[in-house]
Amino acid sequence: MAQRKLTKFEVLLLGIEDFIMARLVPMDNPGPVFKRLFKIPVFFYRVGLPLFGDFILLLTTTGRKSGKLRQTPLEYRREPGTGDFIITAGWGGNTDWMRNIQANPRVQVQAGWRRFAALAEPLSEAEVAAWISEAMRVNPGSARIWSRWAGEPVSVDKPEGVLRAAKFFPSFRLKAIEEPRSRR
């Protein structure tokens, strides 16, 4: 995979994220305070200012019990070659948005000004391991986050540990099922 250079702003944001995720966020679930903090990008998307569109998308799922539309901001990466969006669940996959996708993989996505319908396809553990390795190459500090949730040290130098860690981070490929359209 081609390595891209991070901007100073991205490096700052990743440092803040590393600190919060590796030291402050509870391991069993985000808890009420962080759950609200993690939803801040939803506000910006709703008021028409998708400030985080280069690295946070807004995923809309259908509630598996209620049938209501549910919005969740998620970090993403673009898959080289296809341009598909890749998203990862934390907390061992114990997230509402992931359970909603498992019940109904048809979702709506907004990344910046782009909006489109998509189908969420699960990634294999090998694909997740490759993504984790790439994330650690781009942001070496993220190894603390991956290691914390995997319960063992995770390092780019030890692919077997990365593969074991992959089961704690279920991930999905969002494949557009209609042409992306701009909100403007």
- Across the range 63-78, mean pLDDT stands at 93
pLDDT digits (tens, 9 = 90+) for 18-43: 777 766 666 666 667 666 677 777 77
Nearest to 10 by CA among 99, 135, 167, 174: 135
Q: What is the pLDDT of residues 148-172, one digit of tens each?
A: 878 889 998 999 999 999 999 999 9
User: What is the C-alpha to C-alpha distance for residues 35 and 23, in angstroms, rounded to an integer?
Assistant: 16
Residue 1: pLDDT band (50, 70, 90) is very low
DSSP string, 105-119: -EEEEEETTEEEEEE
Q: Give the residue among 58, 70, 149 at the shortest CA–CA distance from 103.
A: 70
**Residue 127, H or E segment:** helix 125-138
pLDDT tens readout for residues 106-148: 999 999 888 999 999 999 999 999 999 988 888 888 888 888 8
What the chain holds in terms of domains, given with CATH numbers, is 8-177 (2.30.110.10)
78 within 8 A of 158, measured Cβ to Cβ:
no
Q: What's the pLDDT score for residue 150?
A: 84
pTM of the model: 0.78
Tell whether the model's pLDDT for residue 184 goes beyond 60: no
Beta carbons within 8 Å of 12's beta carbon, 6+ residues apart: none
Given a contact cutoff of 8 angstroms between Cβ atoms, the answer to whether 113 and 120 are in contact is: no
**CB-based contacts of 76-80 (< 8 A; 24+ apart in sequence):** 76/111, 76/174, 77/131, 77/134, 77/135, 79/173, 80/1, 80/2
